[in-house]
Amino acid sequence: MYPLAVILLVALVRKNKVAARQEVTVYAVPLAAVGIVISLYHYLLEWNPTWETNVCAIDVPCTTIWFRQFGFVSLPFMALCGFVSVVVLLCTTYTKNSEVEETAEQLEKV
């Protein structure tokens, strides 16, 4: 999640908003997709502790539930919601190269 925060902040600060939005989508969506997979895996591990392998630490296993609100909201679930939100918002604001060029041409005419 932290690399996504840096990438999205840089895209926000850049001056050419349309081009920056297009470029950042290419980098941020794959990172968020990997985050979705990892968060989903950890969320499923919380509900199915028998799936745990020897990858996690002995003192803090992956099946540890730090808190659970409303019977289903836990830390991996919140991370999953955050990553899904990033993917949805970036995909809904994504514009293709031709649309970016058309927008630039329209702005030059004005």
**Is the pTM for the entire model greater than 0.85?**
no
Q: What is the mean pLDDT of the chain?
A: 78
Extents of the domains making up the chain: 2-109
For 15-55, write each residue's pLDDT tens digit: 666 655 677 888 889 999 999 999 998 888 887 777 666 66
Higher pLDDT, 107 or 90: 90
Under 8 Å between Cβ of 74 and 68: yes
Say how far apart CA 53 and CA 45 lie, in whole Å: 10
Distance CA 31, CA 7 (A): 10
The DSSP annotation for 31-46 comes to HHHHHHHHHHHHHHHH
Please give the residue that has the higher pLDDT: either 52 or 85.
85
The percent of residues in the chain predicted with pLDDT above 70, rounded, is: 65
